[in-house]
A and B are shown apart, each in its own frame.
Chain A
């Protein structure tokens, strides 16, 4: 793979709470890296050739980059809001393109079929009209006014509700989802998918959440999100082609795919192509 713009982005490389002085051996975009915590408590990320890589610790995770990040990691202001429960869901490896993992997270239409009786149920399969834009100031993809009927939208939800969503892609392999918060109307629950690209067709996925939910035990919150993601995993591993197609030649999107179309165009425009297929084969 030639140099592309994704080299200068921040990527999650580990849970900060799980680091110790024994380095965690992992990889970033095909290169081996090591993640460790130093005696004084700072995270340290080293490339295979011994180079110290940029580090920041945010949203429960250690972030790093093989290149030179031009800006700070994207902000999630809700993460600092008092009263939220912050949930480290833990890593799950998926044999798929990191871009496909994000695109699947942006899709609503699969809920009744893959997350049956949790995030969707037949016959409530219609994706109503919603809005998609690339916000020029922040250079992020946003989908708003997304509404969907859900039998059990969150661990804190009892019974079916029509849930409202906003999706936000602030970085090529990260997605932030804002979702109706059953115990606290007016606020949004924040559910993220941070994806570490190990190779173009292999990734470690680090879901993370910032929720208003005092009632549900932490383990139940973790298991709820792991359940959802593991329902997606087998689908993701079977998608063909393995890389995310950025050439529109082979696929016909529908109205429900507006977010995916905007995401793919945004990737292409920025030359974010690690894990992408540029010419239909």
Chain B
């Protein structure tokens, strides 16, 4: 499976993270998004006329939407990430999977503006990002009242992975996460999953790392 990837892209990171969590090995094809704008060049535009990355290629299958990539990886290697199939859970999972687009447009736009000097109305992007974060915070609090730690269920699903990167990187776009305790707990729960991988701006939980013990020392 080949991922057209940019190391600083939260959408590409979603796919790398999902692959790591489900144990799928990806072949990475690095795309010079910045400063080279290779995603708008002829080779990648032929693959994805939308001119966006990530692009996931597996044989004849070419995916250009990250939600579809997460679903594909889960269906192939970790069906438990697609939820139990119960109607309400499935609905919540689909709800947050679609909602992730709002995070990309608002918090992702603010981050590109503040970090890589992309054009945009920063005040509007940040305000829309804050509105989305408040909705997510409320959703997580309600899940907590139902006794569930994740967006659709008591275990993480593709919906959590779809929402997590742009939320965790909100401070890169000048949107602090301090006002959202439920989001911070949820973020911590995701970062402590087995086989979690980080990206620049999302740091590892050092305090959860096992102390190094030499063989025979115990």
Q: B115 at the A/B interface (Cβ < 8 Å)?
A: yes
Q: A218 at the A/B interface (Cβ < 8 Å)?
A: yes
Min distance, Cβ A152 to any Cβ of chain B, angstroms = 14
8 A Cβ contacts from B159-208 to A: 171-172, 174, 200-201, 203-204, 206
The reply to whether A226 and B8 contact each other, CB–CB distance below 8 Å, is yes
Tell me the count of chain A residues lying within 8 A, CB to CB, of chain B: 30
Determine the residue in chain A with the shortest Cβ distance to B202: A234
Asked whether A222 and B200 contact (CB < 8 A) given A91-B116, A95-B174, A230-B8, the answer is no
Min distance, Cβ A110 to any Cβ of chain B, angstroms = 12
Min distance, Cβ B123 to any Cβ of chain A, angstroms = 15
8 A Cβ contacts from B78-133 to A: 114-117
Q: Which of A88, A204, A231 has its CB near the most chain B CB atoms (within 10 A)? A: A231
Asked whether A230 and B35 contact (CB < 8 A) given A93-B117, A113-B206, A237-B171, the answer is no
Q: B31 at the A/B interface (Cβ < 8 Å)?
A: yes
Q: B1 at the A/B interface (Cβ < 8 Å)?
A: no
Query: 9 tightest CB-CB pairs across the interface, nearest first?
Result: A90-B35, A230-B200, A219-B32, A223-B7, A219-B30, A231-B200, A227-B200, A90-B34, A234-B201
Interfacial chain A residues near B212, Cβ < 8 Å: 122-123
Min distance, Cβ A19 to any Cβ of chain B, angstroms = 12
Q: A251 at the A/B interface (Cβ < 8 Å)?
A: no
**Interface pairs (15), CB distance under 8 Å:** A15-B35, A18-B35, A90-B34, A90-B35, A91-B35, A91-B116, A95-B114, A218-B32, A219-B31, A220-B30, A222-B35, A222-B36, A223-B6, A226-B7, A226-B200
Q: Which residues of A contact B (CB under 8 A)?
A: 15, 18, 88-93, 95, 113-114, 116, 122-123, 204, 217-220, 222-223, 226-231, 233-234, 237
Interfacial chain A residues near B34, Cβ < 8 Å: 90, 226
Rounded to whole angstroms, the CA-CA distance of A219 and B34 in the bound complex is: 9
Q: B137 at the A/B interface (Cβ < 8 Å)?
A: no
Interfacial chain A residues near B117, Cβ < 8 Å: 91, 93, 204
What's the count of A-B pairs with C-beta under 8 Å?
68
Q: Which of B117, B200, B206, B209 has its CB near the most chain A CB atoms (within 10 A)? A: B200
Determine the residue in chain A with the shortest Cβ distance to B169: A234
Q: Which of A15, A114, A226, A228 has its CB near the most chain B CB atoms (within 10 A)? A: A226
Rounded to whole angstroms, the CA-CA distance of A169 and B9 in the bound complex is: 32
Rounded to whole angstroms, the CA-CA distance of A217 and B38 in the bound complex is: 14
Q: Which of B31, B35, B116, B209 has its CB near the most chain A CB atoms (within 10 A)? A: B35
Min distance, Cβ A238 to any Cβ of chain B, angstroms = 8
The reply to whether A217 and B35 contact each other, CB–CB distance below 8 Å, is no
